[in-house]
Amino acid sequence: MRDTAKRAYRSAARVARTAAARTRTAPALTRKAAAHTRTAAVRVTDRAREAARAARRRWRAAAPQQRQTARLTAASAALGLVVALVTVAAAGPWDSGQRTAERVRAARQEGGSGGDHTRPGTDSYPMAPQVLAAAGPLPKRAAGEGGPRTDARGRGGTRPDQLPPPTASALADTLEPLIEDGSLGAVRHASVVDAVTGRQLFSRDAEAVSAPASTVKLATAVAALTARGDTYRIATRAVGKGDRVTLVGGGDPTLTERDLATMAERTARALDKRDVHEVGLGYDTSRYTGTDRHVIGPNENLARVTPLMVEEGRTDNSHHGPAPRAADPALEAAKIFARELADEGVTVEGTPEERRAPEGAAELAVHRSATLGALVERMLTHSDNDLAEALARQTALAQGEPASFRGAGRAVRHTLKELGLPLKGARFADGSGLDRADRVSPVLLTRLLTLAADPDRPKLRPVLTGLPVAGFTGTLGDRYGGERGEPGAGLVRAKTGTLTGVNTLAGTVVDADGRMLAFAFMTTGASGRDAAQQSLDRLASALANCGCRDSPSTG
């Protein structure tokens, strides 16, 4: 009561002082109004003083028991506030740094890039402190190890408060029984590393290579971001010479009909300035070389690999996942462009023809894709095979290699070698992982992830932000669910990989102690896909919910 009265008195006094100050500076015509204000302020002050004196009288007159009750009530209210703050601190955005961001971004379906991990209209990605657990002073490491580095004074790259890393023995006790699950098949390779330091914490033939399926997209992503940069945009152009217009594919599989409509409008304006209203239309796919057919042949998982296509050649208005595809995506794109030109008043003679753009042709219109960082996010979130092959060819173009399956494989390997990554036995037959000839090791996958977590490499951050979130987004959206719920839902962030008999999972978790771990589990020979995936999910969930410091086997 006394505190309440005092606060009221102080507030009234402030009002009075403010009124007095205004009175001194008021012009003559407003002095009368100021006087009324001052009188009102004095009345408020007098009432506050009287309320304070009354409160003090009641306090003095109160019995000891009543005073004790008042003290206990105030103390309980204060304690309740403290408990509430502690609870919020434990479960709020500080519960790991990663999990709250995952839940919010995964559940929010806005028009951002990838799996809605990046805000619309931005080209920036979370910096390391937002996706890394707190570290503290860290030792310097060799190239390719990833994770935060120290500065010249030996200081760590994140917050100074040290979080305890897991112990190898505790992780072994947790993971070994799960990795022995018979549903995983005969070949079982695994790697778990501390994403902060790059230190190996668990290994099961971690350097042995096997078919990665779609987890090879992690290598494709890192290579493309390194070779091109995260802000690079793929250009589709319309060029003209005389009465000939050519649509030139640059390798953007996300091109839409709306994009072509905009290009047609600009092209028509440019032609009108030249007094050209009737044209022959060609389309140029020479940016890629070699076969445009993957070894799996015509398939709903992948269109013909061409630098010119609309919405990945999909014919069912879908945006990701298996879908029927156009027999000739480049020709279909050119036909759409011809229709849009006609709508703009330009007469197109005959059917579009495939031909190279003539030398000296002037640019009439250009469309640029989303940034490479956004394309990487989309590729990883939805395991987009068409984007993966396109990004592998962008790596080839940047490295001076032919933009073909073979040239892209060489370029990816060369780029990763320059980063100092372990490539013994690795083979990149394609960019998507659909080719069973692909070979990588678990240790390579975890090194790719820790490299993307390196604060010194912010351009690689889309590799982490694009990973599907368990139970929420992309290829993990329908996993870690069910009536009983899975402990890894919202906590596991990982790239999936599935072919017949091949099941893989590679990504990151923040364990129960708040330490960020990178993992890769690779299996071959499983008889059932669903059972194998559930076993892999249990392995990742065990990491997410394990403190993994005190091993029972060490007493």
For 318-332, the three-class secondary structure string (H helix, E strand, C coil) is CCCCCCCECCCHHHH
- Give the angle subtended at the CA of 365 by the CAs of 360 and 367, to the nearest 5°: 120
Instruction: Identify which has the larger pLDDT, 515 or 445.
Output: 445
Whether residue 197 is predicted with pLDDT greater than 70 in this model: the reply is yes
**What's the pLDDT band for 122 if we cut at 50, 70, 90?**
very low
* Residue 50 to residue 72: CA distance in whole angstroms: 26
Task: Look at residue 473 and give its three-state secondary structure.
Answer: coil
Instruction: Identify which has the larger pLDDT, 479 or 552.
Output: 479
- Lowest-confidence region among 135-144, 202-211, 331-340, 417-426: 135-144
Whether residue 344 is predicted with pLDDT greater than 60 in this model: the reply is yes
Q: What percent of the chain has pLDDT over 70?
A: 68
**What's the pLDDT band for 536 if we cut at 50, 70, 90?**
very high
Number of H helices, E strands in the chain: 15, 10
**DSSP secondary structure letter of residue 288:** S
Sheet bearing 493-499, strands edge to edge: 200-204, 187-194, 516-524, 502-510, 493-499
Catalytic one of 203, 210, 214, 432: 214
Supply the pLDDT for residue 527: 86
DSSP secondary structure string for all residues of 113-180: BTTTTB-TT------HHHHS----S-----TT--S----TT---SS-SSPPPPPPHHHHHHHHHHHHT
Instruction: Identify which has the larger pLDDT, 512 or 213.
Output: 213
Kindly give, in sequence order, each residue whose CB lies less than 8 Å from that of residue 153, ignoring residues fewer than 6 positions away: none
* Residue 490 to residue 104: CA distance in whole angstroms: 10
Supply the pLDDT for residue 483: 45
**What's the pLDDT band for 152 if we cut at 50, 70, 90?**
very low
* Residue 352 to residue 367: CA distance in whole angstroms: 20
**What's the pLDDT band for 163 if we cut at 50, 70, 90?**
low
Task: Look at residue 33 and give its three-state secondary structure.
Answer: helix
Supply the pLDDT for residue 548: 73
Catalytic one of 217, 335, 369, 432: 217
Supply the pLDDT for residue 283: 98
Supply the pLDDT for residue 340: 98
- Lowest-confidence region among 343-347, 439-443, 550-554: 550-554
Cβ atoms of 147 and 456 closer than 8 Å: no
Supply the pLDDT for residue 147: 56
How high is the mean pLDDT of the chain?
80
Instruction: Identify which has the larger pLDDT, 85 or 160.
Output: 85
* Residue 524 to residue 210: CA distance in whole angstroms: 8
Supply the pLDDT for residue 318: 93
Mean pLDDT to the nearest integer, 410-433? 98
Catalytic one of 113, 210, 383, 541: 383
Supply the pLDDT for residue 343: 97
Supply the pLDDT for residue 196: 86
Whether residue 424 is predicted with pLDDT greater than 70 in this model: the reply is yes
Whether residue 32 is predicted with pLDDT greater than 90 in this model: the reply is no
Instruction: Identify which has the larger pLDDT, 8 or 474.
Output: 474
* Residue 259 to residue 256: CA distance in whole angstroms: 5
Per residue in 172-188, pLDDT (tens digit) is 988 999 998 888 988 99
Supply the pLDDT for residue 512: 86
Per residue in 124-142, pLDDT (tens digit) is 444 444 444 333 334 445 5
Whether residue 353 is predicted with pLDDT greater than 50 in this model: the reply is yes
Per residue in 215-271, pLDDT (tens digit) is 999 999 999 999 999 999 999 999 999 999 999 999 999 999 999 999 999 999 999
> Do strands 233-241 and 200-204 pair parallel, antiparallel, or not at all (unpaired)?
unpaired
Supply the pLDDT for residue 239: 98
DSSP secondary structure string for all residues of 493-512: EEEEEEETTEEEEEEEEE-T
**What's the pLDDT band for 168 if we cut at 50, 70, 90?**
confident
* Residue 426 to residue 412: CA distance in whole angstroms: 11
* Residue 506 to residue 475: CA distance in whole angstroms: 13
Is the pTM value of this prediction over 0.85?
no
Whether residue 460 is predicted with pLDDT greater than 90 in this model: the reply is yes
Task: Look at residue 72 and give its three-state secondary structure.
Answer: helix
145-164 burial: b if 16+ Cβ within 10 Å, else e:
bbbbbeeeeeebbbeeeebe
- The residue whose two tokens read 């070994």 is 176
Whether residue 85 is predicted with pLDDT greater than 60 in this model: the reply is no
Supply the pLDDT for residue 243: 95
Residue 383 annotated to the active site: yes
Residue 32 annotated to the active site: no
Distance (Å) of CA 89 to CA 84, 100, 211, 307: 9, 12, 43, 50
Supply the pLDDT for residue 149: 46
